[in-house]
Amino acid sequence: MPSYDPKKITKIHQHLHSHLPSDPALRVKALETILVEKGLVNSENIDRWVEVYADDIGPKRGAHVVARAWIDPAFKARLLKDGSKAVDEMGFTGPASGHLKAVENTRDSHNVVVCTLCSCYPFAILGMAPNWYKTAAYRSRIVREPRAVLAEFGVELSEDVAVHVWDSTAELRYLVIPERPAGTEGMSEDDLAKLVTRNSMIGTDRDLKTGDV
């Protein structure tokens, strides 16, 4: 059982800092080795988890959710009301989709998501978080100077477009619904999904491009 004793944890961290190799690959290997020895993990299953999150579970799932919301107003209404149920309809339930909240961009407003305290992310529909999302630079600055950070991503917003930042401090996870680009009427869900970038669903991309479909 855990001790729930922060002083004990601090001592363990200090011990590990001075006794384990510095290379992250060697440290992760040491953890896997002892967990296999203890019968707590199966290395072949880890291989499968890596494959599943490289091949099937990633931002293309979120892109399909967004595309469906664009073409099906009833689905969009359900998604905005209860994001978890709506992604369950699509078979996309998974880690961190238990309390999903979709927020919608408009002409006059832009949404962007962060977790300033750790790096919470809706894995089930966006897959692995990009590295920048987990950096101190993004976590510290996006709440305080979102327009400056967005400009670094190439998103320039006029002063009258309201920026709404969502800091994932509880178990709610956020999905941004970007605006549907003009000139995409009549396109299929599959083709529309190809226009939706991962960053647009986090909020660090805004005007989606329509070329190359």
Partner 1 sequence: MDGIHDLGGKRGYGPVDVNEPQEPFHAEYEGREWGMSRTARASSITIDWWRHVRELIPADDYLNRPYFDSWAQTDMAAMIDAGLFSYEELESGVSTTPPGAQIETMDYDAVLKHNTTMASKFDRPVEAPPEFAVGQNIVTNAAGHAGHTRLPEYARGKVGIIISHHGAHSFPDDCAKGIETAQHLYTVSFSATELWGANANPNDSVSLDLWEDYLAAK
Residues counted in the chain = 213
Which residue's CB is nearer to partner 1, number 95 or number 188?
95
- Active site annotation includes 109: no
Among 72, 81, 106, 152, binds partner 1 (CB under 8 A): 152
Pair of tokens at residue 213: 């479909």
Catalytic, out of 119, 140, 168, 188? 119
**56 lies in the site for partner 1, by CB under 8 A:** yes
Closest to 206 (Cα-Cα) out of 168, 167, 180: 180
By CB under 8 A, the residues from 4 to 23 that bind partner 1 are 4-6, 8-10, 12-17, 19-20
For tokens 């961009």, name the residue.
105
Residue 197 CA to residue 204 CA, distance in Å, equals 10
Sketch the per residue contact string, 76 through 95, with partner 1: x for CB under 8 A, - otherwise. Answer: --------x------x-xxx
Q: Taking CB under 8 A as the criterion, which residues in 91-120 touch partner 1?
A: 91, 93-99, 101, 114, 116-119
Residues in contact with partner 1, counted by CB under 8 A, come to a total of: 100
Under rule CB under 8 A, residue 185 binds partner 1: no
- Annotation marks residue 18 as catalytic: no
Residue at 99: amino acid letter:
H
Q: Is residue 28 within the footprint of partner 1 (CB under 8 A)?
A: yes
The answer to whether residue 22 is catalytic is no
CA pair distance 180, 184, nearest whole angstrom: 8
| CA geometry: angle 161, 83, 188, nearest 5 deg | 80
- Binding track over 154-173 against partner 1, x by CB under 8 A: x----xxxxxxxxxxxxxx-
Contact (CB, 8 A) for 124 and 99: no
Cross-strand bridge partners of residue 176: 103
Residues with catalytic roles? 115, 118-120
